[in-house]
Amino acid sequence: MAYTGKLDKSVTIRTLQSMKELGEKFVTVALYDAPMAAMAERCGVQAVLVGDSLGMTVLGYDSTIPVTMEQMIYHVEAVARGNKKSLILGDLPFMTYAAPEQAMNNATRIMQAGANMVKLEGGRWLEETIRMLSERGIPVCAHLGLTPQSVNKFGGFRVQGRGQQQADTIAEDAKILSNAGADLLVLECVPAQLAAKITQIIDIPTIGIGAGRDTDAQVLVINDILGLTEIPPKFSKNFLVEAGDIPSALQQFVADVRKGEFPEDQHIFQ
C-alpha cells in the first residue's frame, strides 16, 4: 500500500491500522478551515485533526482551555466540507468529557458535525469513557504525554515522561486505553525512547508530535508547517521557507514523514 499524491479513496481506521502493520508511515495535520482541508486531501494527508489548538492558533487565546464545543463544531463542519477523503479527528475541549455520559453527548455532537473520530486527552481515568464510546460505535483517539488541557497542572508546556516512574505510568496508560477500545494514540512531547517503546507494546497506531521518529505517524499544526508561529516549539519545522509556496510546503511535510526524514535530530526529545 503506497500513497503518492492526492488520496484516491477515503481513509478509514482500517487503512491506518494496515499501514502500521506494513510499517508504512502516515501523515496527520492539525488544521481548521475548508480550503486548507481540501489542500490536505490533494496532498495525500491521511488524517486531519481539528484540534482545540485552534484556541491558540486561530482565536488568540493563551491556551486551549477557553475553547467551547460550539467553536469546535463550527470548525469541524468547515473541515468536513472541504475534505471528503482524509480521516477527520475532532477534539473534545476542556471539561466536556469529565464524565462518561457527558463525553457521549459531546462526542455525538462532534461526530454529527462531520468528524470520523473524537480525541480525548488523559490517562487511565478515561478507561470507562473510552470503553463506552467504543462499544457504541464512536471511534476514539487517545492522547498522552503533554496534554495541553492540563497545562496548569503541569506548570507549563513541559516534556512529560523523562523520569522512570512517569514514563512507566504513561506506557501503562497507553496499554489500558488501547485495551479499552481506543483506535489511535497521540503521544505529545515525550522522549523518543518512550514513544518507540509504546509504539511496540500496543496494537493501535501511534501519532507523534515531539515524540521522535519511531511512531507510526507524525502530526504538526498547519501554522507550524507554514512558519506562522511566533515562537515555534522545538519539535516543529517551517517547511514554507524551503518550499516557497503553501502547497509545496505541505507536500514536503508529507514526503518527509513518509520517508522517515522528519522529525530530524533537532526536533526530538531524548
- The 10s digit of each residue's pLDDT in 133-186 is 999 999 999 999 999 998 888 777 788 999 999 999 999 999 999 999 999 999
For residue 156, what is its C-alpha cell? 507549563
Residue from 49, 40, 41 nearest 8 by CA: 41
CA distance 202 to 183: 11
Largest alpha-carbon pair distance within the chain? Answer: 47
The model's pTM is 0.96
Nearest to 97 by CA among 135, 55, 65, 129: 129
Element spanning 133, H or E:
helix 127-135
Asked whether the beta carbons of 72 and 112 are under 8 A apart, the reply is no
| Fold classification of 13-267 (topology level) | TIM Barrel (3.20.20)
- Does residue 261 carry a catalytic annotation? no
Catalytic residue among 101, 188, 230, 261: 188
Alpha-carbon gap, residue 16 to 38, rounded angstroms? 20
Q: Where are the domains of the chain?
A: 13-267
The residue type of 174 is A
| pLDDT tens digits, 254-268 | 999 999 999 998 998
HEC states along 50-73?
ECCCHHHHCCCCCCCCCCCHHHHH
